[in-house]
């Protein structure tokens, strides 16, 4: 069948609204679900065969957002979406969610992350799906029938949902750091051992900065911190009332100020709004002419991300200069 028309737009609408809530809580998602009445997506006189095909395609579509390279929040949203679609489908018996074996490890890692970061409601939803036997464990995600004539359609990854690519952290992982430390220590010890004066190695052997490892560690930690600041700074933690505000607040106020000043500048540029085409009319940017500060429609959400990126980037480069 291919993706049913409009389904991707609807799912992305739901996920982007979820992204805007800056939360990973199920209550927030289900509130959005109810407001969009997403459960009615199966309505409309579909006969059995069409229902089956549509549900299969819907689950396969939602599944894509559950895997990397999508951001953590999007992946959580996709899990909720899968749960919602699976439980509100009209097929009897229920259509299952296809999981390729090579993705299963990734999923389990995700589950472990959830438990470690104490997002218990997400983990509970996943556990519930598993207990309900909602999964089909397969070799490959899609059926392969050697359709050579069919054009290979690469499904484009929605850029706004992607996890920002952190090449630095991928290169220097904690394993690498640990090994570096070990090698460094070993090297220093070796120098001590082979020199005549055991406590003081030969001066000619000091080819490496002694504190190089500490430097790297500091830089990496700063980079991590910068990353955290620039991402969603206020993923609400469940249950503890006061705490959720505290962590997010200080960073929030900084980024708020930045955002506000930049928004003022942008608002002049965005005083004119482009008319969205019919297929995107639900994402039409609305100009709120009353307040120039809040002239940001939906379309400027991406701009905000880019702004914080730029300003944080500037911050980072200044730090870098300071260190060396």
Partner 1 sequence: MAALPTGVEEQGGWVECLHPVWEPGGRRQVLSELPGVPTSSGVCSEQDPVASSGGCNFPEHKKPELNTRAFHVGAFGELVRDRLRGQGDLSLKEPRATGIRAAWARRGRRGWDDAAVARDLGCDLEAGTELKAVWGLGKLQCCEDQDPEVIPEDTDLVTLGVRKKLLERREETLTIDRACRQEILAYEMDSHAIGKKPENPADMIEEGELILSVNVLYPVTFHKHQEHKPYQTMLVLGSQKLTELRDPICCVSDLQIGGGFSNTPDQASEHSSKDLYKSAFFYFEGTFCNDRRYPECRDLSRTIIEWSESHDRGYRKFQTAKMEDFTFNDLHIKLGFPYLYCHQGDCEHVVVITDIRLVHRDDCLGRILCPLLTKHWLWTRKCFVSKMYTARWVTNDDSFAPDDPCFFSDACFRMLHYDSEGNKLGEFLAHPYVAPGTFN
Query: How many Cβ atoms sit within 10 Å of the Cβ of residue 112?
Result: 11
Give the residue carrying structure tokens 């805007």. Answer: 20
Establish how many alpha carbons lie within 13 A of residue 263's alpha carbon, considering only the half-sphere containing its beta carbon.
Answer: 18
Task: Name the residue nearer to partner 1 (CB basis): 128 or 228.
Answer: 128
Q: Which residues, numbered 55-94, are part of the site for partner 1 (CB under 8 A)?
A: 64, 67-69, 83-84, 87-88, 90, 93-94
151 token code pair: 């054009």
Task: Name the residue nearer to partner 1 (CB basis): 156 or 322.
Answer: 156
Counts for the chain of helices (H) and strands (E), in that order: 11, 2
Task: Name the residue nearer to partner 1 (CB basis): 95 or 267.
Answer: 95
Task: Name the residue nearer to partner 1 (CB basis): 5 or 322.
Answer: 5
Instruction: State yes or no: cis peptide before 69, omega within 30 of 0.
Output: yes
Cα–Cα dist 86/108, whole Å: 20
According to CB under 8 A, which one of 19, 23, 24, 29 is a site residue for partner 1?
29
Q: Which residues, numbered 35-54, are part of the site for partner 1 (CB under 8 A)?
A: 36-49, 52
Strands (E), 84-148: 97-100, 135-138
| Residue 87 CB, nearest approach to partner 1 (Å) | 6
Query: How many Cβ atoms sit within 10 Å of the Cβ of residue 97?
Result: 19
Q: Which residues, numbered 265-304, are part of the site for partner 1 (CB under 8 A)?
A: 279, 282
| Residue 30 CB, nearest approach to partner 1 (Å) | 4
CA angle, 275 then 279 then 285, to 5°: 35
- Answer yes or no whether residue 118 interacts with partner 1 by CB under 8 A: yes
According to CB under 8 A, which one of 124, 253, 261, 317 is a site residue for partner 1?
124
Task: Name the residue nearer to partner 1 (CB basis): 219 or 276.
Answer: 276
**In the chain, how long is the greatest CA-to-CA distance?**
90
| Residue 299 CB, nearest approach to partner 1 (Å) | 18
Segment lying near partner 1 (by CB under 8 A), choices 125-133, 177-185, 200-208, 284-292: 125-133
DSSP string over 174-212: HHHHHHHHHHHHHHHHHHHHHSSSTTS--GGG--S-TTH
- Answer yes or no whether residue 212 interacts with partner 1 by CB under 8 A: no
Task: Name the residue nearer to partner 1 (CB basis): 48 or 215.
Answer: 48
Give the DSSP letter of residue 138: E
Task: Name the residue nearer to partner 1 (CB basis): 244 or 252.
Answer: 244
- Answer yes or no whether residue 167 interacts with partner 1 by CB under 8 A: no
- How big is the site for partner 1, counted in residues (CB under 8 A)? 83
């Amino acid at each position: 069948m291919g993706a049913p028309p409009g389904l991707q737009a609807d799912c992305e609408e739901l996920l982007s609204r979820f992204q805007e809530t800056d939360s990973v809580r199920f209550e927030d998602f289900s509130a959005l679900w109810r407001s969009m009445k997403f459960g009615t997506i199966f309505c409309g006189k579909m006969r059995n065969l069409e229902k089956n095909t549509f549900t299969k395609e819907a689950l396969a579509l939602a599944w894509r957002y559950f895997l990397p390279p999508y951001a953590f929040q999007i992946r959580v949203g996709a899990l909720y979406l899968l749960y919602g679609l699976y439980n509100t489908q009209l097929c009897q018996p229920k259509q299952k969610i296809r999981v390729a074996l090579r993705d299963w490890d990734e999923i389990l890692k995700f589950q472990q992350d959830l438990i470690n970061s104490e997002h218990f409601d997400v983990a509970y939803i996943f556990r519930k799906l598993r207990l309900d036997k909602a999964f089909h464990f397969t070799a490959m995600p899609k059926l392969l029938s050697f359709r050579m004539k069919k054009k290979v359609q690469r499904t484009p990854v929605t850029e706004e949902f992607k996890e920002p690519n952190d090449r630095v952290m991928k290169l220097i992982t904690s394993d690498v750091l640990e090994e570096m430390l070990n090698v460094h220590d070993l090297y220093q010890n070796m120098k001590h051992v082979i020199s005549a004066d055991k406590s003081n190695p030969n001066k000619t052997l000091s080819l490496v900065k002694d504190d190089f490892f500490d430097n790297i560690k500091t830089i990496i930690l700063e980079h991590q911190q910068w990353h955290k600041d620039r991402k969603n700074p206020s993923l609400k933690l469940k249950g503890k009332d006061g705490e959720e505000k505290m962590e997010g607040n200080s960073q929030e106020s900084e980024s708020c100020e930045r955002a506000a000043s930049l928004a003022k500048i942008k608002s002049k540029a965005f005083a004119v709004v482009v008319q969205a085409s019919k297929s995107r009319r639900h994402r039409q940017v609305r100009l709120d002419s009353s307040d120039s500060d809040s002239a940001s429609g939906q379309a400027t959400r991406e701009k905000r991300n880019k702004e914080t990126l730029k300003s944080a980037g500037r911050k980072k480069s200044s730090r870098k200069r300071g260190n060396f």
